[in-house]
Chain A
Amino acid sequence: MTAAEAAGGSPHRTLITGVIGSDTHIVGTRILSMGLEKAGYKVVALGALTPAEEFVKAAIETDADAIMISSLYGQGELDCRGFRDLCVEAGIGGVLIYVGGNLVVGKQSWAEVEQRYLDMGFDRAFPPDTRLDGVLVALAADFSTRGQVEKEVG
């Protein structure tokens, strides 16, 4: 069994996916959503062109465990600035937030880019060539270290 298989998801964990801002690149978030669903998570896919506030509203209503933001067109830093604060303001400050895609304009050192997003309050940032396996492992690790109890479903 691979690490990713071991890190299978749970339908009691809800993940929000979508592409933030005026960004229309929909393929990545679709593939990601399908992969996460196949791994066993409950996925709420908001698609392309999603304003930051809509991620937050969806997360509140569905009691989401993580928000998976995509940004491809180079404006990610502008669109993502203040996202954690928005969550804090809305009472879901503790939610796990990941971001991935082409997060900056042109080629820049990944370590620097990653640090910038971590400083903005993201729990993890992922470079353009990210594969699903790595994402599943990261989610499993983060959910277990946070020690969140599985939500019971009646």
Chain B
Amino acid sequence: MAAALLIDFGSTYTKLRAVDLDAAEVLGAGQGPSTVESDVTIGLEAGLADLEARLGGLPEFRYRLAASSAAGGLRMATVGLVKELTGEAARQAALGAGAKLVGTFAYELTGGDVAEIEALAPDILLLAGGTDGGNKEVILANGALLADAALDCPVIVAGNRNAAAEVERRLAEAGKTAIMAENVMPEFGELNIEPARAAIRQVFIDRIVHAKGIDKAAGSFDRVLMPTPAAVLEGARLLSQGTEGRDGLGPLLVIDVGGATTDVHSISSGASTRDDVVVQGLPEPLVKRTVEGDLGMRINAAATVEAAGVDRVAADAGLEPEKVTELVGRLVGEIERLPETPDEAALDRALARAAVRLAAARHAGTVKTVHTPTGPVQVQRGKDLTEVAAVIGTGGVLVHGADAGSVLEAACADAVDPLSLRPRAPRLLIDRDYLLFACGLLAEVEPQAAFDLARGGLDGDREEVAGERQSIA
């Protein structure tokens, strides 16, 4: 039997999955605490011991691959010129690389901006600005400011190629590590974020893994390939597109509701499904990730209620608004709290539904009517996700909470918000064993086994999802 070990160095847990590559089956799971802050090996060894106890011994692993979101994740700041153009392209490149965005900046940096970046001390800074042959002044000025800043993170330069070499020289002269990538927007309105994403990932592998001390455990695994959100994204891409001999599921959405944030990944061109609309705004990347920093089940429970409206959450939970406010006040402080009473369970479900609904709506595009002298014209901005084939839930709440199907349903189009281009009739699936990250890692080396594993790990029908399933995690 050929086996693989997939590791997620997370912020709270070190999660392990052992898989049988021939049968494309999960052998077992193990879990240890996250100990990156002290010594990463402790948590990993605890996880391995757990796994060994469950399996009654560890098999020989052909691959031992890891992803990491520990030690704050891959903390990035981005700088662009126009906020909605190269600023947005840079953001999308960083998010798509699995980063946690700690700061986004546009136009010429002010002294205050530079001080803020210094205080943020990101792991990587992505500097963009100007189309090729376009504006040079701003990226040159920002490059010079960053060169002189008290900053020791690598700077990836992905802006106007007519200024990039000069920016690199300036940064290097000041002793900064400058890495060049193709412009995130070489022509006006043309997104080119793959090269920047690849550069981010390379810097992550070459430097960040070491800087965060994850390589201390290097003897126990082969490679840390990418930040965990990027692994989930790669797993989603594989499921959507398939691989040799395996048909993909088609365009899909993956939603991960966490304690602090809600991540949405879409694998979909987002092209309009109607012929009566005019599409405006930046083109959309096929693989897109958004992170909602105000939507989450614990730290951001109050913010989620605020965004959704307390009355709506209360109605959905079948509770009085005052009760919701009281319970939420408690949740915010107790990050690890699991629902104990029926009221708490009802609130959790309503919170999850609110987070999923808002996060999906922010990720999806909109179609709005613009009134012209001839009458109305439909203008689309962002991705049309109405024809998405599947919505997949992953992460704690969706996997462990009861009634996951009804939570995921909140991602779908509803009559209250007719302008939002959310999925109309997708299959609702749950990543039961938290395998998407593992399959994203495995996709690099064994795409077919990775696909079969990911596919087999999805729970289909709503009834089945709602029913009690034995979870291995």
Contacts and interface: CB of A to CB of B under 8 A. Distances in A.
Nearest to B280: A49
A6 interface: no
Chain A CB count within 10 A is highest, among B185, B187, B280, for: B280
A48 to B, nearest CB: 7
Interface stretch (A55-63, A114-122, A141-149): A55-63
A44 interface: yes
A22 B185 contact: no
Nearest to B379: A49
B131 A61 contact: yes
B190 to A, nearest CB: 10
B81 interface: yes
Given A49-B379, A62-B188, A154-B162, A14 B86 contact: no
Nearest to B134: A62
A4 to B, nearest CB: 24
Contacts of A57: 82, 84-85
A74 interface: yes
A58 B81 CA distance: 11
B372 A63 contact: no
B87 to A, nearest CB: 9
Contact of B370 (A14, A22, A60, A151): A22
A24 B81 CA distance: 29
A75 interface: yes
A12 B136 CA distance: 13
Interface residues of B, number: 27
A74 B81 CA distance: 34
A61 B162 contact: no
A74 B165 CA distance: 47
Given A14-B134, A48-B278, A49-B278, A61 B372 contact: no
B471 interface: no
B264 to A, nearest CB: 26
B82 A154 contact: no
B167 to A, nearest CB: 12
A153 B162 contact: yes
Contacts of A62: 130-131, 133-135, 188
Nearest to B80: A61
A46 to B, nearest CB: 8
Contacts of B374: 24
Interface in A78-106: none
Contact of A61 (B185, B278, B379): B185
B337 interface: no
A86 to B, nearest CB: 13
A49 B188 contact: no
Interface string A120-154: 00000000000000000000000000000001011
8 contacts: A22-B377, A60-B82, A61-B86, A61-B130, A61-B131, A62-B133, A151-B133, A153-B162
Interface of B: 81-82, 84-86, 130-131, 133-136, 161-162, 165, 185, 187-189, 278, 280, 370-374, 377, 379
Interface of A: 12, 14, 22-24, 42, 44, 48-49, 57-58, 60-64, 73-75, 151, 153-154
4 closest A-B pairs by CB: A62-B134, A22-B372, A63-B135, A44-B188
